[in-house]
Amino acid sequence: MKEQIQSADGKLGILIPGLGAVATTMIAGVIAVNKGLSQPIGSLTQMGSIRLGKRTENRYPLIREFVPLADLDQIAFGGWDIYTDNVFEAATHAKVLDAGLLHAIKPELEAIVPMKAVFDKSYVKNLDGKNVKKADTKYELAQAVMEDIQNFKEAHDCNRVVIVWCGSTEKYIEESAVHESIESFEEGLRNNDPAISPSMIYAYAALKLGVPFANGAPNLTCDIPAMIQLAKETETPIGGKDFKTGQTLMKTILAPGLSARALGIRGWFSTNILGNRDGLVLDDPDNFKTKEVSKLSVLDDILRPDINPALYGDLYHKVRINYYPPHGDNKESWDNIDIFGWLGYAMQIKINFLCRDSILAAPVVLDLALFMDLAKRANMTGIQEWLSFYFKSPQTAPGLRPEHDIFKQLIKLQNTLRHIMGEDLITHLGLDYYQDLVEAL
Ligand SMILES: NC(=O)c1ccc[n+]([C@@H]2O[C@H](COP(=O)([O-])OP(=O)(O)OC[C@H]3O[C@@H](n4cnc5c(N)ncnc54)[C@H](O)[C@@H]3O)[C@@H](O)[C@H]2O)c1
């Protein structure tokens, strides 16, 4: 398989619907790293290493030296937004990065100007922007996005393009008849079916062109049969949903640990306050519902109350998000966890996570873009479950339970890399060499 992976030479275009706080923090970060101003902390592709072979072999290359990934200085950035702000302006408004850092890379950021977006206010009530495409049908809008992608590719001399959705969270919708097949979806595009959201139009356009698409928001987007079929037909990687960055990241680190020790959990109350534009959008109940469903799913899948009713059968799980402007992008989350141990004795854990939303999300966007591009070059098409590591609500093959445990997700990601590079998979059993070491004493 290793020999069949196409080279990462040439330029990679990373196109982003939604040039807001997360996207601009990622773009500015990559440019700053390329200029030697900073380091890509939090990015597994850039900073992480991977063990190969037996522990006795001491082989721990950096992931970026092990698998062929696009180099950071071979990336061209672009995207769409409903506002006309260029990336310098948008990053300044987002107030995530220091003004000093942004000024050091101002010309590069100013050069990235958003293309006109596909937008429908009924999906994001709390936003209003003028930089929006106009057309009679959703089908025409999809064609216009395809043109944008092709024009960008030519203008920036890119060999390949990937798309990562960093747009706002859309209102909650469920899968319906129009999403069932490519035919019904295309019919729906022509008839302006209201159940086709803007993010689906971008995803459709990407998949038609064979451009990998990852979804960083909890929207349905590419998690519908029509998109799964289209991805298969055009041999394109897809993945989602919802970047796993803050409170849910902590949850999927902690819950596997408690469950590993067979400790019981009675209640898990999670609340957040944040004041960025994402918080404003999530202040609308229809948009919050999309996020809530995504955030709530993780505990059941990790703890499996159906298999462990005595430990987790009565677990009460509640998630709240409150818009609180004074905190801006510096989200604060509290978790109160009511656990119980030996003979049912009650204990508590409190977590106060003072995080920076976009600082945590930026490396996830970068890694997803680079790994989706690798998947495409390695001929891995359709749903990329090995990238579940990065998502709150990982897309899986229909009928399959998602894996939320971050440690199992990491093992799957690493073993996938070993597999495509022709290295032995690591089971952590070690029997084949452990005995030899003991006998050599
Ligand atoms: N920051 C995190 O830790 C995190 C974690 C998980 C998911 N997310 C999701 O990532 C997304 C981006 O977060 P953010 O903090 O950058 O939000 P943001 O509000 O700063 O940026 C989103 C941008 O998308 C634009 N937009 C909305 N609809 C659009 C459309 N149809 N086409 C093009 N642009 C559109 C908005 O104008 C805005 O500029 C949100 O959906 C958020 O829920 C963020």
Listing DSSP states for 280-303 in one string gives HHHTSHHHHHHHHHHHHHHHHHHH
User: Residue-wise over 186-197: b if at least 16 C-beta within 10 A, else e?
Assistant: bebbeeebebbb
For residues 218 and 171, give the distance between their C-alpha atoms in angstroms, rounded to a whole number.
10
The dihedral built from the CA positions of residue 93, 94, 96 and 97, taken in this order, carries a sign that is negative
Decide: 170 in ligand 1 pocket, CB within 6 A.
no
* Cβ atoms of 267 and 261 closer than 8 Å: no
The residue with greater pLDDT, 440 or 145, is 145
Residue 437 reports pLDDT greater than 80: no
Q: Which residue's CA is minimally distant from atom 29 of ligand 1?
A: 167
Residue 434: the pLDDT is: 73
Residue 285: the pLDDT is: 87
Which of 220-234, 257-271, 284-298, 406-420 is predicted with the least confidence, judged by mean pLDDT?
284-298
Average pLDDT of the residues in 195-203 = 98
Cα-to-centroid distance, 36 and ligand 1 (Å)? 28
3-state secondary structure of 338: strand
Residue 202 reports pLDDT greater than 90: yes
For residues 237 and 231, give the distance between their C-alpha atoms in angstroms, rounded to a whole number.
7
Ligand 1 atom with the smallest distance to the CA of 277 is 19
Which of 100-104, 263-267, 327-331, 387-391 is predicted with the least confidence, judged by mean pLDDT?
327-331
Decide: 167 in ligand 1 pocket, CB within 6 A.
yes
Cα-to-centroid distance, 22 and ligand 1 (Å)? 7
Q: Where along the chain do the CATH 3.40.50.720 domains lie? A: 2-243+358-420
Decide: 17 in ligand 1 pocket, CB within 6 A.
yes
- pLDDT band, residue 198 (cuts 50/70/90): very high
Instruction: Provide the 10 A C-beta neighbour count for residue 23.
Output: 31
- pLDDT band, residue 258 (cuts 50/70/90): very high
Residues found in the chain: 441
For residues 118 and 80, give the distance between their C-alpha atoms in angstroms, rounded to a whole number.
8
* Cβ atoms of 212 and 361 closer than 8 Å: no
Cα-to-centroid distance, 243 and ligand 1 (Å)? 11
Average pLDDT of the residues in 186-198 = 98
Q: Where along the chain do the CATH 3.30.360.10 domains lie? A: 247-354
For residues 311 and 303, give the distance between their C-alpha atoms in angstroms, rounded to a whole number.
9
* Cβ atoms of 125 and 171 closer than 8 Å: yes
Kindly state the tokens that stand for 258.
Answer: 């408690």
May I ask the CATH class of domain 247-354?
alpha beta
- pLDDT band, residue 379 (cuts 50/70/90): very high
For residues 132 and 109, give the distance between their C-alpha atoms in angstroms, rounded to a whole number.
21
Burial bucket for residue 336 (CB in 10 Å: 0-12, 13-18, 19+): middle
Q: Which residue's CA is minimally distant from atom 39 of ligand 1?
A: 20
The residue with greater pLDDT, 329 or 94, is 94
Portion of the chain with pLDDT greater than 70, in percent: 100
CATH code given to domain 2-243+358-420: 3.40.50.720
- pLDDT band, residue 441 (cuts 50/70/90): confident
Decide: 25 in ligand 1 pocket, CB within 6 A.
no
* Cβ atoms of 32 and 24 closer than 8 Å: no
Cα-to-centroid distance, 60 and ligand 1 (Å)? 36
Cα-to-centroid distance, 34 and ligand 1 (Å)? 25
> Which mutation among 141, 166, 219 tests ligand 1's pocket best, with the greatest number of atoms within 8 A of CB?
166
For residues 357 and 96, give the distance between their C-alpha atoms in angstroms, rounded to a whole number.
9
* Cβ atoms of 116 and 132 closer than 8 Å: yes
